[in-house]
Amino acid sequence: MLLLQQLINGLSLGSVYALISVGFALIFSVLKFSNFAHGSVIMLSAYFGLWISNRFATSLWLTLLLCALAGGIVAVIIEKIGFRPIRLRGGSTIYFFVSSISISLFFESFMTALLGGQFYMYRNFFKETTISLGKLIIPWTSVLTLIVSSGALIFLLYVLYRTRIGIAIRAASTDLFTPNLMGADVDLIVSVTFFLSGVLAGISGLFLGINLTVYPQIGGLVIKGFVATVIGGLGSLSGAVFGALLLGMGETLITAYLGGSVTPIFSFSIMFIFLLLKPEGIAGLFGRSKLSL
């Protein structure tokens, strides 16, 4: 029973990681760099959701929708200012990487300067905070995180496989240059990719905020997404999901059975093991490495 409870905790944690890592992997698959500015989008969305839900007493679902939209828009703006000039200049991926780190540090310092290092709590969206199933007590936020994360991932799957722009994104993930020759608008494809990843960041920002309080360094959790994508195989979406669930479960179980101070050692050693022995990650085990779910 205790193990089951811990597995649910792990699943819930893993599903938030999955939201982060899929947004992260999406950018990697198209532009081939680790976008740490993803953390800024998460952080800004968390603050935005906090502000809107306190100011206008919006319901959870409306807040979720607005956060997702805000995340998408912020990501598109960040791409326009921080990445597009580099791409048009034909700069190497290292410039994208440096730019993304600069952006994330900029926003973190900006929020710290603006609001101080204080942290804020979301108001309670529900009267009851838990669901009881016999002896199992599951926090509402865990259930919700799980449902919404799955929903968001299915939505992404739909866009990628059933829409023209999705097909274009998948084509671009193989090669950014050829679609251009065939008359596809690469700028638009990249913008939409960033919008989609921003939507995921917006949703994860809201859930991280609800679960963990809102503070300027909350975007730092993008590192978990990064670890998950390395485990899953950089650029692979299904790998990112599996990596995230594995990481969430692993962290929870290690914390429960070996103690919380050992957990980071676990997370980073598993990342190293994958980097050294299986750089193509879990996705590589199945022989696919391009954008696939």
Partner 1 sequence: MKVILRFFVLSVVVLGMGLLWSTTLEAASEDYVVIGTIQDLSGPNALWGQSQARGVEMAVEDFNQRGGLLGKQIVLKTYDFKLDVQEGINAYRRLVNQDKACVVVGPPVSNLILALAPIAEELKVPIVGEPSDERATTKSPGEPWGFVFASQPTCKEYGYTMAGYAIKELGLKKFGVIYNKANAWGAMIAEAFMNYAKDHGAEIVSEQTFLWGDTDFRAQLTKIKDTQPDALVVPEYLQQAAQITKQAREMGMMIPIVGPNSFTPPMVDLIGSAANNIYFVNNCAFDDPNLQEFIAEYKEKYGVDPTTNAFFGYDNTLIALNAIERAGSTDPVAIRNALAQTKDVKGLIYTYTFDPTLHRPKQFVATVIKIVDGKYITVGKYLPEP
- Which residues in this chain contact partner 1 in the complex, by CB under 8 A? 2, 5-6, 9-10, 12-13, 112-113, 116-121, 123-124, 129-130, 132, 137, 139-142, 208, 211-213, 215, 217, 220-221, 251-253, 255-256, 259-261, 263-264
Tell me how far, at minimum, the Cβ of 59 lies from partner 1, in Å. 17
What are the distances in angstroms from CA 230 to CA 38, 76, 161, 226, 233? 16, 24, 24, 6, 5
Of 105 and 212, the one with the shorter C-beta distance to partner 1 is 212
- What does residue 214 show for φ and ψ, rounded to 5 degrees? -110, 125
Tell me how far, at minimum, the Cβ of 244 lies from partner 1, in Å. 14
Tell me how far, at minimum, the Cβ of 285 lies from partner 1, in Å. 27
Tell me how far, at minimum, the Cβ of 89 lies from partner 1, in Å. 25
Tell me how far, at minimum, the Cβ of 241 lies from partner 1, in Å. 19
Of 93 and 217, the one with the shorter C-beta distance to partner 1 is 217
Tokens 């101080």 -> residue: 116
Of 113 and 188, the one with the shorter C-beta distance to partner 1 is 113
DSSP line for 203-256: HHHHHHHHHH-B-GGGGGGHHHHHHHHHHH-TT-HHHHHHHHHHHHHHHHHHHH
Of 60 and 176, the one with the shorter C-beta distance to partner 1 is 60
Closest by alpha carbon to 97, among 36, 56, 54?
A: 36
H or E element at residue 13: helix 2-31
Of 170 and 224, the one with the shorter C-beta distance to partner 1 is 224
Strand pairing class (130-133; 136-139): antiparallel
